[in-house]
Amino acid sequence: MSGPSTYDPKSGLEKWIDSRLPLPRLMHDTMSTFPTPRNLNFWYTFGGILTFCLGVQIVTGIVLAMHYVSTSALAFNSVEAIMRDVNYGWLIRYVHANGASMFFLAVYIHMFRGLYYGSYKAPRELIWIIGVLIYLLMMATAFFGYVLPWGQMSFWGATVITNMFSAIPVVGSAIATWLWGDFAVGDATLNRFFSLHYLLPFIIAGVVGLHVWALHVPGNNNPLGIDVKTPQDTVPFHPYYTVKDAFYLVLFVILFASFVFFEPDFFGNPDNYQPANPLVTPPEIVPEWYLLPFYAMLRSIPDKLLGVIVMAGAIVTLVFIPWLDTSRVRSCRFRPLMKQFFWAFAVVCVILGYCGAQSVEATAFGVPLVWVARIATLYYFAFFWLIMPIVGLIETPKKLPASIAQSVLGDSAATPAE
């Protein structure tokens, strides 16, 4: 769909630049005239929103790094100094802290949208896989970032997560020591996590470039999951999707701002306003909400190594989705059976998240949550490794519309006038 370029340099300067570095041509072809399916709905606006989130995190993060001190003796107090003594430091930090949650909220919506409309299916496998890589980098970055304020949850979260590597047979404890740069989480760990926390977002930005590049080869999938066939099926990206994305972005920023200005600690844990103390373990060590489903999987399995394998497997599984889905139809709109399993999967993810937030002995309606988490974990894996391949083979999809244009405009689409 990328097709031949429609860029037409008008002025002498544009021609001069175009023959040397065709950057304006690239911008024009990818962001202005790029033919985009005309039926993209609200759920397709999160790609732009995510780009915005990454930008906000990088900009606020750079400013925070100007004031933050990455040694265990001063980290906590330097964050408090940012909150109290740096001009608008409280604003920058609250935007950054809530920005992480907003980023994950958006990425989960983006991923579930891809899952629902089959956006991972041929010819978009690489877009999906690169997306999984971005998600993985995001989790690493968020984890490193959460350690930096050096509160109780920072310290003990870092201890729990890095200890997972010690589950690896034979070399595990050596790996953990290597990660820590010490024999426990300490100064060396904090410093390297800060370094990596600053590095990874730029790697994410690069991989996002690949994600968008890969997207621009086949073009967007769409809620119908059918290919673009004629020019009537598409509209130019600008102004149609620039204005639509901008509108929904502002709605998203309203939600974002509501948290920053009126509930800035909503996603936080009170324990992280206590300075890290290696001698006092908090009664409950809980990660940030966006990692809770995986944390629930880890805890539901009594064997440490197996737990780590299952948790890692839950993420690695995502890479194989393009080949696990055997259906010929992309969009769940036309897959009556898969649609049920999809929504059940969404519920299971919420349940896993809930289980991850509770104490290990907690129960719901008399059922130990650890068993709820086990069954939910089972469904998580069954959804990808059993349900996806089998349902794709046995399900009878509904009839697909003839074209995007016909579906949107009705039969008048036969006439090319808009």
Partner 1 sequence: MRLTKLTRNLALGLGLGLLASPAAFAAESATARHHPKHVEFEFEGPFGTYDRGALQRGFQVYKEVCASCHGLQHIAFRNLADKGGPEFSEAQARALAAAVKVPAEPNDKGETTDESGAPLTRPGLLADRYPSPFPNENAARANNAGSLPPDLSLIVKARMGGPQYIYSILTGFHEKAPAGFKVPDNKHFNPYFEGWTIGMPPPLSNNGVTYSDGTKATIDQQAHDVVTFLAWAAEPKMEDRKRMGFAVLIFLITLAGLLFAAYRRVWKDAH
Which residues, 225 to 284, sit near partner 1 by CB under 8 A? 235, 239-240, 243-244, 246-247, 250-251, 253-254, 257-258, 260-262, 264-265, 270-271, 273-274, 283
Stretch that binds partner 1, among 27-35, 156-164, 345-353, 383-391 (CB under 8 A): 345-353
Q: Is residue 343 at the binding interface for partner 1, with CB under 8 A as the rule?
A: yes
Q: Is residue 84 at the binding interface for partner 1, with CB under 8 A as the rule?
A: yes
Do the Cβ atoms of 274 and 151 come closer than 8 Å? yes
Provide the minimum distance between the beta carbon of 358 and partner 1 in the complex, in angstroms, as a whole number.
7
Q: Which of 6, 77, 281, 326 binds partner 1 (CB under 8 A)?
A: 77
Please state the length of the chain. Answer: 418
Residues whose CB is less than 8 angstroms from the CB of residue 209 and which lie 6 or more positions away in sequence, other chains included? none
34: its two tokens: 């790029």
Q: Is residue 158 at the binding interface for partner 1, with CB under 8 A as the rule?
A: no
> Which alpha helices (DSSP H) does 148-222 contain, by range?
152-163, 172-180, 187-215
Provide the minimum distance between the beta carbon of 244 and partner 1 in the complex, in angstroms, as a whole number.
6
Q: Is residue 288 at the binding interface for partner 1, with CB under 8 A as the rule?
A: no
Q: Is residue 411 at the binding interface for partner 1, with CB under 8 A as the rule?
A: no
Q: Is residue 346 at the binding interface for partner 1, with CB under 8 A as the rule?
A: yes
Rg of the Cα trace of the chain? 24
Residue corresponding to tokens 């997306």: 131
Q: Which of 1, 63, 91, 164 binds partner 1 (CB under 8 A)?
A: 91
Q: Is residue 38 at the binding interface for partner 1, with CB under 8 A as the rule?
A: yes
Tell me, rounded to whole angstroms, the distance of Cα 365 from its chain centroid: 32
Find, among 193, 195, 187, 196, the residue nearest to 278 by Cα. 187
Q: Is residue 408 at the binding interface for partner 1, with CB under 8 A as the rule?
A: yes
Do the Cβ atoms of 172 and 180 come closer than 8 Å? no
Find, among 272, 314, 282, the residue nearest to 297 by Cα. 314
Beta carbons within 10 angstroms of residue 31's beta carbon:
15
Provide the minimum distance between the beta carbon of 105 and partner 1 in the complex, in angstroms, as a whole number.
14
Rounded to an integer, what distance in angstroms lies between the CA atom of residue 332 and that of residue 41?
A: 14
> Which alpha helices (DSSP H) does 216-368 contain, by range?
242-262, 292-300, 304-324, 336-357
Q: Which of 344, 378, 402, 414 binds partner 1 (CB under 8 A)?
A: 344
Q: Which is nearer to partner 1, 46 or 165 (CB)?
A: 46
Binding residues (CB under 8 A) for partner 1: these are: 38-39, 77, 80, 83-84, 90-91, 94, 235, 239-240, 243-244, 246-247, 250-251, 253-254, 257-258, 260-262, 264-265, 270-271, 273-274, 283, 336, 339-340, 343-344, 346-347, 350-351, 354, 357-359, 361-364, 369, 408-409, 418
